Amino acid sequence: MDYDALVVGRGIGGMESALKLGDMGYRVLVVEKEASVGGRMVLLSKVFPTLDCASCIATPKMAATAHHPNVTVLTDSEVEAVSSDGGGRFLVRVHTRPRFVDLAACTGCRQCEQACTVAVPDEWNGEMVSRRAAYIAYPQAIPQKALIERRGTSPCTDACPAGIRAHGYVSLVRSGLYEEAFQLLLEATPLAATLGAACYAPCETVCTRGELEGPVAIRRLKRFVAERHYATADGPGVTPGEPNGRRVAIVGSGPAGLTAAWQLARAGYGVRVFEAGPEPGGFLRQAIPAYRLPAELLDQDVANVTALGVEITTNSPIADVAALKVEGYDAVLLATGTPESRPLGIPGEDLEGVQAGVAFLRDVRAGHPPDLAGKRVVVVGGGNVAMDSARTAIRLGASETRVAYRRGREEMPAHRAELNDALTEGADLELLVAPVQVIGDADRRVAALRCRRIELGEPDDTGRRRPVPVPGSEFDIECDVVIAAVGLTTAVETFAGALLGAPPAGPVDERTLQSVIPWLFAAGDLVTGPSDIARAVGQGRQAAQAIDRWLCGERRGLATVPDPLGVVDRAEVLARQKSHSRRESGLRPVNVTPRPRDFDQLEPPIGEEDARAAAGRCLDCGVCSECGQCLPACPANAIDLSMRGNDRSLEVGAVVLATGYRIFPADLKPQYGHGRFANVITGLQMERLLAPTRPYTSVLRPSDGKIPMRIAYVMCTGSRDESVGNPLCSKFCCMYSLKQNQLIMGVLRFAEVTVHYIDIRAVGKGYEEFFEQSKGMGVNFVKGRVAEIRETPEANLILRYEDVDHGTLAEAEYDLVVLAVGVQPNQDLGQLLAAQGVAFDDRAYVDEVDEDYRPTATSVPGIFVAGALSGPRDIPESILHAGAAAIQVAAHLESLKAPA
Amino acid sequence: MSRDIREVVRDEPLMRDRLLELLADGPLTVPELAAAAHMPASEVMVWLMGMRKYGYVFEEKGPGRLFEYRYSAVKRP
């Protein structure tokens, strides 16, 4: 048996049972789902009727529980299964969530909390103030250690093939930490501005805000931080790693090659990049039109790489990779992409006026555009190169630009924005056609493109419907120029075909990107086939890690692609709020106009104010944004984002259920306006305002921070109320309200306090005297229910109420209203317990089946209940009840020892 | 408060610099700060109390029996 007893719940009842059993010598495990032991009592201001400090009573018990030699406490943990072994013992499974903080190392200094960029409502302070995603629950929490609330990986971060922590930099921009955001981007790639301008932003496709009025402009924020950095800083602000004596050659300076070079240089490798073209950038410079990616942005990104000492040798096509090895490079990475267009494969392709798409784009970017003025252009293909070719042709003055594609519009692989922009600029679509011949004139110049109509058949291997030619449907599109953009291919045969095989299914290991020759690696489109910039960046990171591991046997400080937690459910994110206000991005839209004639960048830059506002639309899906600010802030290096949860299977001799009660959700009485009127608060919120560790400066109005002079209490909110299905008295609301009345009159000496009540239930030692004392202090008592609460323009509150003593209906105006909310049964473990045969009473409290003779015993031998889980109890009663449970457990445990 | 509390709280990092800028000229009450920021006082209250909790602002009592708290920015290096 692992433990004699399992106590579920760490409130005053759970702690009392655990301590009593521990004192008796039994080994006890306390499982608590929250981050601290202590329950609600520690959050109270004082206890009634003695007005002793609640924390002063609770915290010694908390400390005793945490440090008792016979008591083990598991916080952040939940019991997921309980089953009887048939012999009076129980098998339990406990799941512990990760805190992402090493408890042994954390000193509780709260530096992580100060650095954290995500603000969420502080549930420990009645959601009247913020806390951070990295936090310590409250000042008296035990353990006094931080934890990080991570609900999963945010969809944007999860969707980024480059492994960029998108949520992280959005959060940093929102906080005005622009340089930190830039540095977070640099952890993944030096191509911050490039991605900010030209990435297709899969992050935005999955952004939860897209379910509302539109996604956060994640990509444009990236461009903002990059441009801001480049405008103010000299160099990337990153120093290369200590040289490790290893050299790596990288062939190709596209996104994969540059990213790998950056990562390896940061880790101390000597890196040289060989670029066949006259300038670095590969496909980025040669084929992406300037209106999407201006050369200056790319130049700034490339300068990040060279700033770390990476040498880029241009005009250097590599024909023999083995020679690089002979030259002394320890590893070679091929990242040459897919620089060639696939041919159309039809007669007439050699006519003058037929051009490959990539070659066409390359000529234009190199400053050698063909003369298309007044010419009719047909672009064959439906991908992004086809769209770029069409839009470029329009800019060069083509009189007519048609895009011929063999499937329908929905099947076009081009990014939707690219397609739509092409159409806006004046491209026409010729869908469901396949070229069969380029027709030439007498001078062998293009005169027309002969096409055949297509019907779509059954889906092929890619899931898209297969194009089926329609016999006899040939027709000619008269044109002067045909641009072939039907796919891209590698140029690998020029240097390494024998080594790599036929891409994209080349024989490199998917994980390590290592070829059959150990020193030779490959990454990017060369491996995957044509993809996009972000995927190529991700491949570059992956290759750098693999090379580092192969050469040095371990990770040497390389920024690794994060190991995702599992993406958070977007529906769950939206459900965290009762309502979402509409919040437009406010950014100027991309300036796409018909028939453009220049290559100026279309997307306008965004300013600081717009950027922060755009970032402010983020919903913080994962809660923690993974911005990483807590990591350097922690002086103890205690943050560990790789931490994961664990499950324990244990055998115990008895179970004590002590999960307490639930507070009635006051918004279920909409006529009282809680959640709508700022100055209607609950009794628990008032407890926090009165506590020494209060969220406000004093007892203040939430609407405007003013001191309330007229305060009303509305008793029996959610209890003794059939309209909300709870006819039971919650037993302690009267007394905690009286206590608060007295405390308020001590704090706000000129305040008037009025209690609207049905009757005051002051049943307990000293309780009636406490009531009389409240009256004596000047608290007004008005007998009768409150019908409704209205709000004035000044955020004051009009109570319409029944005055039973005077037989009238009346109204009164107050500055602040406190709803004395009742309690409900806690059904967190309901299904689990019901499956074990634990009985509940008709109000869903755990049933003590023989309350007179065996109090705390449930319907299942060996399972006991302590405190308010079996019915409303105040603190002294809960402690007594928990003590009784401990004795019952002891008797049960001893019975297990007795001979049969 | 018309907006969900989670939404309001989430704006605290966004609003912090603006509020601190407004407090640079001297202490303000919550309604004064809200008027200057053109934001609802109930939301400014949430942000300001969060900023107080994390050491960005501090309070002082105003004059008179029925005083109001005024808030100042904590000077940071």
Cα(A361)–Cα(A294) distance, integer angstroms: 14
Q: Do the Cβ atoms of B1 and A709 come within 8 Å?
A: no
Q: Is B50 on the interface with A (CB under 8 A)?
A: yes
**Statement: residue A504 has pLDDT above 50:** no
Q: Do B53 and A705 touch (CB under 8 A)?
A: no
Q: Looking at residue A492, what is its pLDDT?
A: 56
Q: Decide if A747 touches B, using CB distance below 8 A.
A: no
- Exposed e or buried b per residue across A680-699, where buried means at least 16 C-beta atoms within 10 angstroms of its C-beta: bbbbbbbbbbbbeebbbbeb
What value does the mean pLDDT take over residues A626-633? 97
E-strand ranges in A574-677 read 646-657, 661-663
**pLDDT over 60 at A900, yes or no:** no
3-state SS assignment for residue A50: coil
Choose the closest CB to B30 out of A117, A578, A705: A705
> What mean pLDDT do residues A229-234 have?
94
Cis peptide before A143 (omega within 30 of 0): yes
Residues of A in contact with B12 (CB under 8 A): 119, 130
Q: Tokens for B28, please give them.
A: 């303000």
Per-residue pLDDT, averaged over A624-648, amounts to 96
| Per-residue tokens: A65 | 């529980």
The CATH number assigned to the domain with range B5-73 reads 1.10.10.10
Report the DSSP pairing between strands A475-478 and A247-251. Answer: unpaired
Mean per-residue pLDDT of chain A = 93
- A111 part of contact set with chain B, CB < 8 Å: no
Cα dist from B48 to A111, A660, A808, B20, B34, whole Å:
20, 34, 42, 10, 10
DSSP one-letter code for A577 = S
| pLDDT (average), residues A249-258 | 97
* Chain A: residue whose CA lies nearest to B31: A704
Give the tens place of pLDDT for each residue, B8-50: 999 999 999 999 999 999 999 999 999 999 999 999 999 999 9
Contacts of A616 in chain B (CB under 8 A): 10-11, 14
How does residue A557 score in pLDDT terms, banded at 50, 70 and 90? very low
- Model pLDDT, residue A562: 53
pLDDT value for A824 = 92
- pLDDT bin (cut points 50, 70, 90) of residue A667 is very high
* B2: chain A residues, CB-CB within 8 Å: 581, 676
A119 contacts B13? CB cut-off 8 A: yes
Q: Which two tokens stand for residue A45?
A: 């201001």
Q: What is the DSSP letter of A495?
A: T
Please indicate whether, in this complex, the C-beta atoms of A706 and B30 are within 8 angstroms of each other: yes
Residues contacting residue A632 through CB under 8 Å, at least 6 positions apart: A115
CB atoms within 10 A of CB A89: 18
Subunit contact B59:A176, Cβ cutoff 8 A: no
Cβ distance A119 to B12 less than 8 Å, yes or no, reads yes
Q: Name every chain A residue with its beta carbon within 8 A of the beta carbon of B31.
A: 704-706
Measuring CA to CA, how many Å separate A231 from each of A179, A228, A762? 11, 5, 70
Q: What is the largest CA-CA distance in chain B?
A: 36
pLDDT of residue B51: 98
Tell me if chain B has a CB within 8 Å of the CB of A619: yes
Q: Where do we find the tokens 């092929």?
A: A460
pLDDT for position B64: 73
Contact B10 A615 (CB under 8 A): no
ω into A139 cis (within 30 of 0): no
Predicted confidence (pLDDT) per residue in A790-848, tens digit: 999 999 999 999 999 999 999 999 999 999 999 999 998 888 888 889 999 999 999 99
- Smallest Cβ distance to A678: which of B1, B31, B54? B1
End-to-end CA distance of chain A: 18
| Six-digit token string for A680 | 């209607």
- What average pLDDT does this structure show over A417-425? 95
Going by pLDDT thresholds of 50, 70 and 90, the confidence category of residue A502 is very low
Q: Interior CA angle at A160 toward B6 and A196, to 5°?
A: 90
Choose the weakest-confidence range: A343-357, A541-555, A856-870.
A541-555
Contact with chain B for residue A633, Cβ under 8 A: no
- Total residue length of chain A: 900
Confidence of residue A529 (pLDDT cuts 50, 70, 90): confident
Decide if A123 touches B, using CB distance below 8 A: no
Quick one: A749 exposed, middle or buried, by C-beta within 10 A (0-12, 13-18, 19+)?
A: exposed
Query: Above 80 in pLDDT, residue A500?
Result: no
The pLDDT, as a whole number, for residue A232 is: 93
Chain A interface includes B13 (CB < 8 A): yes
The predicted model gives A750-755 an average pLDDT of 96
Instruction: With both helix axes pointing from N to C terminus, report the angle between A767-777 and A733-747 in degrees, rounded to the nearest 10.
Output: 40
Residue A340 pLDDT class (50, 70, 90 cuts)? confident
Q: How far is A138 from chain B (nearest CA, A)?
A: 12
Predicted pLDDT at B2:
81
pLDDT per residue over A47-78, tens digit each?
999 999 999 999 999 999 999 999 999 999 99
Tokens of A144: 């006094």
**CA atoms in the 13 A half-sphere facing the CB of A761:** 13
- Residue A585, SS3? coil
SS3 content of chain A, % helix, strand, coil (to 5): 30, 25, 45
Q: Do A619 and B50 touch (CB under 8 A)?
A: no
Q: What is the DSSP code string of A515-537?
A: -SSTTEEE-THHHH-S--HHHHH
Q: What is the 3 state secondary structure string of A310-377?
A: CEEECCCCCCCHHHHHHHCCCEEEECCCCCEECCCCCCCCCCECEEEHHHHHHHHHCCCCCCCCCCEE
Supply φ then ψ for residue A514, to 5 degrees. Answer: -95, 140
- Residue bearing the bigger pLDDT, A1 or A397: A397
Q: Is residue B42 within 8 angstroms of chain A, CB to CB?
A: yes
**Residue A773 pLDDT > 70, yes or no?**
yes
The whole-number pLDDT of residue A554 equals: 64
Report whether pLDDT(A246) > 50.
yes
| Over residues A312-324, mean pLDDT | 91
At residue B29, the 3 state secondary structure works out as: coil
Distance CA A5, CA A68 (A): 14
Average pLDDT for residues A298-319, to the nearest whole number? 96
- The pairing of beta strand A797-803 with beta strand A465-469: unpaired
Residue at token pair 């909110």 = A717
pLDDT tens by residue, A104-148:
999 999 999 999 999 999 999 999 999 999 999 999 998 899 999
Question: DSSP states of A801-842 as a string?
Answer: EEETTTTEEEEEEESEEEEEE-EEE--TTHHHHHHTT--B-T
How many contiguous H segments (helices) and E segments (strands) does chain A have? 27, 39
**Amino acid making up residue A370:** P
Chain A contact for B34 (CB, 8 A cutoff): yes
pLDDT at A503: 45
What pLDDT does B9 receive?
Answer: 98
- Whether the upstream peptide bond of residue A504 has omega within 30° of 0, thus cis, is yes
Closest CA in chain A for residue B51: A130
pLDDT of residue A868: 95
**Both tokens assigned to A571:** 């529906």
Residue A473 pLDDT class (50, 70, 90 cuts): very high
Count of CB contacts below 8 A, A vs B?
Answer: 113
Question: pTM of whole model > 0.80?
Answer: yes
Q: What percentage of chain A carries pLDDT values higher than 90?
A: 85
DSSP string over A728-774: S--SSHHHHHHHHHHHHHHHSTT-EEEEEES-----STTHHHHHHHH
Instruction: Write down the domain spans for chain B.
Output: 5-73
Report the chain B residue with the minimal C-alpha distance to residue A620.
B10
Q: In Å, how far are A131, B20, B71 from B76, measured between CA atoms?
A: 21, 11, 15
User: What one-character DSSP code corresponds to residue A866?
Assistant: -
User: How far is it, in rounded angstroms, from Cα A134 to Cα A628?
Assistant: 11
Query: Above 70 in pLDDT, residue B1?
Result: no
pLDDT for residue A498 is more than 60: no
Query: Quick check: A129 and B54 CB within 8 A?
Result: no
Q: CA nearest A401: which of A410, A411, A414, A391?
A: A391
Question: Does the beta-carbon distance from A705 to B31 stay under 8 Å?
Answer: yes
User: Is A496 a residue whose pLDDT tops 70?
Assistant: no
Give the position of tokens 């306090």.
Answer: A753
CA closest to B44 among chain A residues: A704
Is B17 in Cβ contact with A697 (below 8 Å)? no
In order, the DSSP letters of A264-284 are HHHTT-EEEEE-SSSSTTTHH
Q: Exposed, middle or buried: residue A385 (CB in 10 Å: 0-12, 13-18, 19+)?
A: buried
- A579 interfacial to chain B (CB closer than 8 Å): yes
